[in-house]
Chain A
Amino acid sequence: MNRYPLWKNLLIIFTIIVAIIYTLPNLYGVTPAIQISTNRQSLVINEATEKTVTEALQKANIAHDGMFFAGGSLKVRVSDANKISARDAIDNALGEGYIVAQNQIADSPEWLEKIGAKPMFLGLDLRGGVHFTMQVDMKAALEKTLDRYAGDVRRQLRSLGIRSGTIRKTADSLVIPFQDAADLQKAYPELQKLLEGATLSTEDNNVTITLPETLLQQIRTDAVKQNITTLHNRVNELGTSEPVIQQAGADRIVVQLPGMTDTAKAKDIIGRTATLEVRMVSMDATQFAQAQAGNVPAGYELLKDKEGHSYLVSKQVELTGDNINSAQAGFEPQTNRPAVNLALDGAGSSIFADLTAANKGKIMAMILIDQGKSEVITAPRINDTITGGRVQITGMQGTAEANDVALLLRAGSLAAPMEIVEERTIGPSLGAENIAKGINSTVWGFVVVAVFMMIYYRLFGVFSTIALACNLLFLFSILSALQATLTLPGIAAMALTLGMAIDANVLINERIRDELREGKKAQVAIKEGYDHAWNTILDSNLTSLIAGAALLIFGSGPVRGFAIVHCLGIITSIYSSVVVSRMMANWWYGRRRKLQHLSIGIRVPAVVDAPETLPSVKE
Chain B
Amino acid sequence: MELFHFKRDIPFMSYGKLTTAISLITFILAVVFLLTRGLNLSVEFTGGTLMEVEYSQQQGADLNQVRHSLDSLGMGEIQVQALGTNKHIMIRLPNTENLSSAQLSNKVMDILKKERSDVSLRQVEFIGPAVGDELVSNGLTALVVVILGIIAYLAMRFEWRFAISAIIANAHDIVIILGCFAFFQWEFSLTVLAGVLAILGYSVNESVVVFDRIRENFRKGSMRNKSVNEVIDNAITATMGRTVITHGSTEAMVISMLIFGGAALKGFATALTIGIVFGIYSSILVASPLLLMLGLNRSNVVKQESEKEEIVV
Contact = CB atoms under 8 A, between A and B. Distances in A.
Contacts of B190: 557-559
A55 to B, nearest CB: 36
A481 interface: no
Given A264-B102, A441-B260, A507-B209, A544 B126 contact: no
A181 interface: no
A543 B256 contact: no
Interface string A422-435: 11111101100110
B273 to A, nearest CB: 11
A559 B191 CA distance: 6
Interface string B287-303: 00000000000000000
Contact of B126 (A423, A556, A562): A423
A506 B146 contact: no
B11 interface: no
Contacts of A562: 191, 194, 198
A135 B239 CA distance: 52
Interface in A372-402: none
A568 to B, nearest CB: 14
A564 B123 CA distance: 24
Nearest to A487: B191
B253 A496 contact: yes
A559 B268 contact: no
A453 B126 CA distance: 45
A448 B135 contact: no
Given A500-B202, A543-B201, A558 B123 contact: no
Nearest to A549: B149
Contacts of A554: 138-139, 141-142, 145
Interface in A122-143: 125, 133, 135
Contacts of A135: 128, 130
Interface string A129-162: 0000101000000000000000000000000000
Interface stretch (A222-230, A275-283, A532-540): A532-540
A422 B134 CA distance: 12
B191 A427 contact: no
Interface in B115-153: 120-128, 130-131, 134-135, 138-139, 141-142, 145-146, 149-150, 153
Interface stretch (B30-38, B69-77, B240-248, B305-313): B240-248
A500 B205 contact: yes
B106 interface: yes
A598 to B, nearest CB: 14
A556 B102 contact: no
Interface string B199-240: 011101110110011000000000000000000000000110
Nearest to B265: A492
A550 B128 contact: no
B193 interface: yes
Contacts of A185: none
B35 to A, nearest CB: 25
Nearest to A488: B264
Given A425-B121, A547-B200, A554-B142, A441 B205 contact: no
Query: Max chain A CB contacts within 10 Å: which of B245, B253, B257?
Result: B253
Nearest to A468: B249
Chain A CB within 10 A, most for which of B1, B138, B191, B257: B257
Contact-residue bracket for chain B: 35 or more
Nearest to A547: B201
A452 B102 contact: no
A450 to B, nearest CB: 9
A551 interface: yes
A613 B246 CA distance: 39
A541 interface: yes
Nearest to B200: A547
A309 to B, nearest CB: 28
Contacts of A424: 123-126
B194 A559 contact: yes
Given A267-B102, A449-B252, A551-B194, A492 B146 contact: no
Nearest to A560: B194
Contacts of B204: 540, 543-544, 547
B238 A514 contact: yes
Given A492-B261, A495-B256, A547-B149, A536 B102 contact: no
A499 B260 contact: no
Select the residue from A423, A446, A541, A543 with max chain B CB neighbours within 10 A. Answer: A543
Contacts of B212: 535-536, 539-540
B197 interface: yes
A420 B126 CA distance: 9
Q: For A135, A426, A495, A499, which residue has the most chain B Cβ atoms within 10 angstroms?
A: A499
B97 interface: no
Nearest to B103: A267
B246 A506 contact: yes
Contacts of B246: 500, 502-503, 506-507
Interface in B1-55: 1-3, 5, 44, 52, 54
A65 B145 CA distance: 53
B63 interface: no
A551 B205 contact: no
B122 A500 contact: no
B43 to A, nearest CB: 10
A506 B242 contact: yes
A510 interface: yes
Given A427-B120, A441-B260, A559-B193, A420 B100 contact: yes
A434 B262 CA distance: 8
A244 to B, nearest CB: 18
B142 A551 contact: yes
Nearest to A458: B1
A437 B205 contact: no
Central interface residue in B100, B193, B242, by most chain A CB within 10 Å: B242
A197 interface: no
Interface in B60-92: none
Nearest to B4: A510
Contact of A541 (B106, B205, B253): B205
Nearest to A261: B121
Interface string A403-445: 0000000000000000111111111011001100110111011
A489 interface: yes
Nearest to A545: B201
A518 B135 CA distance: 53
Contact of A495 (B105, B123, B253): B253
B96 interface: no
A499 B199 CA distance: 13
Nearest to B258: A441
B304 interface: no
A456 B262 CA distance: 30
A566 interface: yes
A547 B198 contact: yes
A434 B260 CA distance: 10
B57 interface: no
A553 interface: yes
Interface string A601-619: 1100000000000000000
Contacts of A580: none
Given A488-B265, A489-B268, A555-B194, A421 B102 contact: no
Given A423-B101, A441-B253, 15 more contacts: A135-B130, A419-B100, A422-B126, A423-B126, A425-B125, A441-B256, A488-B265, A495-B253, A510-B242, A535-B212, A544-B202, A545-B201, A547-B146, A548-B201, A554-B145
Interface of A: 125, 133, 135, 263-264, 267-268, 271, 419-427, 429-430, 433-434, 437-438, 440-442, 444-446, 448-449, 452-453, 455-456, 488-489, 491-493, 495-496, 498-500, 502-503, 506-507, 510, 513-514, 535-536, 539-551, 553-559, 562-563, 566, 601-602
19 contacts: A125-B264, A264-B106, A421-B130, A423-B101, A424-B123, A427-B120, A430-B122, A437-B265, A449-B252, A489-B268, A499-B249, A506-B242, A536-B213, A541-B205, A547-B198, A547-B201, A553-B142, A554-B139, A554-B141
Identify the 4 closest CB pairs spanning chains A and B, nearest first.
A547-B201, A499-B253, A421-B128, A445-B253
